[in-house]
């Protein structure tokens, strides 16, 4: 009888968790822009797959939708990194290698870096989507896909691991954090627009320009607080299934995956600020063309949810075949 696989969660600071599920990194976290493919809609950047709408004008044919291939490629790197991490963990589980994925800094640091990269891209994606004018109905449709997948993860994990089912894993965290991050991206965009209007009016009236960036400063402060608060404040009240999603736990829960709002929303808010700055001053950093050999990563980044959902079953299935074959041959 094959023992169940206890794969390390890439997404959670898992020291203290007895078991963490492989659904730890979800590349798809934010809604896609108009005209993006359905898969691109769950990619961590709305604007990355194909942002903006094709609109015909009286002056000529419709302009092609803008792609953010560099951002997609960055997410693609994270996906490949995640897959390599999970495959190594699977090899360890089936005793092809001997590693400690729960305490060895070589592995635990990678786990944190991978989820950080994904969530940062998610924040950047929200800034891109807002800058491109993505409407709320589009956002909610994509958000519903993420939330629906999170519900399926909970149901499936409850059937497989009734004592350590996933109540707030990475998909749950992304679904909750996306709403706040979306509002933050809107606030930065609106604040910047109002500042530009105010500066223009002040200039025309002969007055010095007003102060800029106060909304961004508030969000930066919130990001820092989110990152440090779990290290400063903990309470047993937050140790239950109903409250541990906040993140102020005194101990890590026994679960297959755990990605609480605190501190991870701080990473997403940092991505919002970085994305807003890039869209305003260095747009080519996100939307510039990528070399031919990097294009597969950009494509993978746009189809990241599908890859996430199938890669572990494929890995585990292949390794089970190898184990069976070795046993039969022996």
Handedness of CA 27, 28, 29, 31 (dihedral sign): positive
Are 297 and 77 in contact by the 8 Å Cβ rule? The answer is yes
pTM, full prediction: 0.77
- Which sequence spans correspond to the domains of the chain? 40-55+63-329
Residue 180 tokens, joined = 């706040």
pLDDT (tens place) for every residue of the chain, 330 residues total: 434 434 444 444 444 444 333 344 444 444 444 333 333 334 444 444 344 444 344 444 444 567 889 999 999 999 999 899 989 988 998 899 999 987 899 998 998 899 899 999 999 999 999 998 889 999 999 898 889 888 887 887 788 678 888 899 888 999 999 999 999 999 998 877 766 655 555 555 555 444 557 889 999 999 999 999 999 999 999 999 999 999 999 998 888 788 999 999 999 999 999 999 999 898 888 988 899 999 999 999 988 877 877 887 889 899 999 999 987 766
């Amino acid at each position: 009888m094959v023992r169940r696989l206890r794969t390390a969660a890439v997404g959670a600071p898992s020291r203290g968790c007895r078991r963490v599920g492989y659904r730890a990194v979800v590349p798809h976290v934010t809604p896609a822009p108009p005209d993006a493919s359905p898969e691109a809609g769950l990619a961590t950047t709305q604007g990355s797959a194909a942002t903006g709408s094709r609109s015909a004008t009286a002056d000529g044919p419709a302009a092609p939708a803008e792609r953010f291939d560099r951002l997609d490629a960055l997410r693609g790197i994270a996906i490949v990194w995640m897959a390599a991490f999970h495959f190594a963990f699977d090899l360890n589980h089936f005793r092809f290698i001997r590693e400690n994925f729960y305490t060895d800094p070589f592995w635990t640091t990678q786990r944190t870096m991978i989820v950080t990269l994904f969530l940062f891209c998610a924040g950047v994606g929200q800034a891109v989507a807002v800058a491109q004018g993505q409407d709320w109905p589009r956002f909610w449709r994509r958000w519903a896909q993420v939330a629906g997948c999170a519900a399926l993860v909970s149901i499936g994990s409850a059937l497989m691991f009734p004592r350590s089912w996933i109540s707030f894993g990475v998909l749950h965290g992304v679904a909750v954090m996306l709403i706040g991050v979306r509002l933050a991206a809107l606030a930065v965009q609106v604040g910047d627009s109002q500042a530009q209007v105010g500066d223009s009016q002040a200039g025309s009236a002969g007055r010095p320009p007003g102060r800029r960036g106060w909304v961004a400063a508030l969000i930066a402060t919130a990001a820092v607080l989110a990152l440090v608060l779990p290290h400063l404040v903990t309470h047993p009240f937050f140790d239950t299934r109903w409250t541990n999603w906040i993140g102020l736990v005194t101990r890590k829960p026994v679960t297959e995956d755990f990605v609480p709002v605190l501190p991870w929303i701080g990473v997403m808010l940092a991505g919002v600020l970085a994305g807003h700055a890039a869209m305003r001053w260095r747009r080519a950093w996100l939307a510039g063309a990528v070399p031919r050999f990097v294009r597969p990563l950009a494509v993978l980044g746009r189809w990241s949810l599908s890859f996430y959902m199938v890669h572990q079953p494929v890995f585990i299935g292949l390794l089970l075949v190898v184990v069976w074959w070795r046993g039969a041959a022996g």
